[in-house]
């Protein structure tokens, strides 16, 4: 029975086929388990080792592991069920925990969070150490910018499960693949059947245009930042140093208010406002999937260098405001640019093409 599930309707390739997102294929340590074929993510779970690296890294939480819920782990850790995070204790692999959860854990517990790296060098998977380190660096970068006195620490605890857990581990391993043999987490995790939610996902496709997805890890981070009431006013992060959000600006002269960017945005971070005369942006909802930049026909949507953390949590930015007037030729409304031009770009282009054709 497969433990890993993929919800194709949450993947950004379903919103925009040529999306450049390949985070899951890049992170998966086993060749051929996750692949990108014809602009579609394909999952072949036969050789999957259930490490959950894809669960951790996917911005839209398209992957889930039966028997491991990152939010449940987060809640238990906040309730001080454990003192450290280990692949032999409470997670399938340290790579299954995203930087947003790591930041939230340190803020919630108001102390250093220790990750047990003692098994990484001997782990047969072998390739996930860099992913774990990157997530920790990102979390510590943000925690540093928040000016809190705690961080995520990597230590070689080399925790070993108590002996009484061994029998269930052995019986579990017989049932599942040979390759999960070093993942002691699964030995102590309940052997759950495929849950109803997974079945529903297979049966009922989402309306991907109307249903905007807000990942649980984002809700957790926002709730934690709000609860802690930190002074975020003058705190900034550099946008290219974080993977989970962004800040944007639009070139007013070029934007045609074509609606494409905010119609396609999978989370609702971009929005056309009530009358579709302005484009609004909420960094709190942005997952930095980049598809808005990739679809923009005018290439006029850009990343800001910095993101203010107060804006990230609380603010909506108006990126552009349009004045729409009817085109003097086709009468279709277009965005007027205060330049005395009363013909829409489409008619203008058509005029130019006709002139060129006639050699004028």
Cβ 116 to ligand SF4 shortest distance, Å: 26
Q: Does 256 bind ligand SF4 (CB under 6 A)?
A: yes
Selected from 265, 307, 327, 344, the binder of ligand SF4 by CB under 6 A is 265
Cβ distance 311 to 283 under 8 Å?
Answer: yes
Cβ distance 72 to 192 under 8 Å?
Answer: no
Selected from 136, 146, 270, 309, the binder of ligand SF4 by CB under 6 A is 270
N- to C-terminal Cα separation, the chain: 70
- DSSP assignment string, 288-300: ---HHHHH-TT--
Strand partners, 205: none
- The Cα 82–Cα 56 span in angstroms is 20
Q: Does 267 bind ligand SF4 (CB under 6 A)?
A: yes
- Contacts (CB under 6 A) with ligand SF4, residues 234-253: 246, 250
Strand partners, 302: 249
> Based on CB atoms, which residue is closest to ligand SF4, 261 or 327?
261
Nearest CA among 235, 13, 79 for reference residue 143: 235
- Contacts (CB under 6 A) with ligand SF4, residues 27-86: 41, 58-60, 62
> Based on CB atoms, which residue is closest to ligand SF4, 152 or 255?
255
Selected from 2, 208, 258, 347, the binder of ligand SF4 by CB under 6 A is 258
Q: Does 11 bind ligand SF4 (CB under 6 A)?
A: yes
Q: Does 24 bind ligand SF4 (CB under 6 A)?
A: yes
The pair of three-digit structure tokens given for residue 223, joined into one six-digit string: 């709730």
Cβ 141 to ligand SF4 shortest distance, Å: 20
- The Cα 280–Cα 318 span in angstroms is 5
Contact letters (x/-) for ligand SF4, 283-302, by CB under 6 A? Answer: ---xxxxxxx---x-x-xx-
Q: Does 131 bind ligand SF4 (CB under 6 A)?
A: no
Cβ distance 331 to 253 under 8 Å?
Answer: no
Nearest CA among 159, 162, 143 for reference residue 151: 143
Selected from 269, 309, 327, 344, the binder of ligand SF4 by CB under 6 A is 269
Helix axis angle, 99-109 to 129-145, nearest 10°? 50
Q: Does 100 bind ligand SF4 (CB under 6 A)?
A: no
Name the residues that contact ligand SF4, by CB under 6 A: 11-13, 21-24, 41, 58-60, 62, 246, 250, 255-261, 265-267, 269-270, 286-292, 296, 298, 300-301
């Amino acid at each position: 029975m497969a433990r890993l599930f993929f919800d194709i309707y949450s993947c950004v390739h379903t919103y925009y086929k040529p999306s450049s997102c390949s985070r899951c294929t890049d992170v998966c340590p086993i060749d051929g388990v996750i692949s990108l074929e014809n602009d579609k993510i394909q999952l072949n779970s036969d050789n999957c080792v259930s490490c959950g690296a894809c669960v951790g890294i996917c911005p839209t939480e398209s992957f889930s592991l039966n028997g491991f819920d990152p939010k449940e782990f987060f809640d238990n850790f906040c309730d001080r069920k454990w003192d450290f995070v280990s692949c032999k204790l409470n997670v399938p692999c340290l790579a299954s925990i995203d930087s947003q959860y790591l930041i939230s854990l340190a803020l919630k517990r108001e102390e250093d969070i220790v990750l047990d790296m003692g098994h990484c060098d001997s782990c047969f998977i072998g390739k996930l150490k860099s992913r774990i380190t990157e997530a920790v660096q990102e979390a510590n970068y943000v925690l540093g910018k928040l000016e809190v006195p705690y961080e995520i620490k990597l230590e070689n605890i080399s925790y070993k499960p108590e002996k009484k857990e061994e029998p269930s581990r052995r019986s579990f391993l017989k049932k599942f693949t040979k390759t999960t043999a070093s993942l002691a987490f699964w030995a102590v995790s309940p052997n759950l059947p495929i849950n109803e939610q997974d079945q529903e996902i297979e049966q009922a496709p989402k309306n991907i245009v109307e249903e905007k997805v807000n990942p649980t890890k984002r809700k957790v981070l926002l709730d934690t930042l709000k609860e802690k009431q930190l002074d975020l006013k003058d705190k900034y992060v550099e946008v290219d140093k974080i993977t989970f959000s962004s800040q944007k600006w639009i070139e007013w002269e070029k934007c045609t208010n074509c609606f494409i960017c905010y119609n396609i945005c999978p989370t609702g971070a971009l929005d056309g406002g009530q009358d579709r005369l302005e484009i609004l942006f909420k960094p709190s909802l942005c997952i930095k999937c980049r598809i808005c930049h990739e679809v923009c026909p005018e290439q006029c949507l850009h990343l800001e260098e910095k993101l203010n953390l107060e804006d990230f949590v609380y603010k909506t930015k108006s990126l552009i405001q349009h004045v729409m007037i009817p085109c003097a030729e086709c009468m279709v409304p277009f965005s007027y640019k205060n330049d005395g031009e009363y013909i829409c770009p489409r008619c203008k282009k058509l005029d130019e093409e006709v002139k060129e054709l006639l050699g004028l």
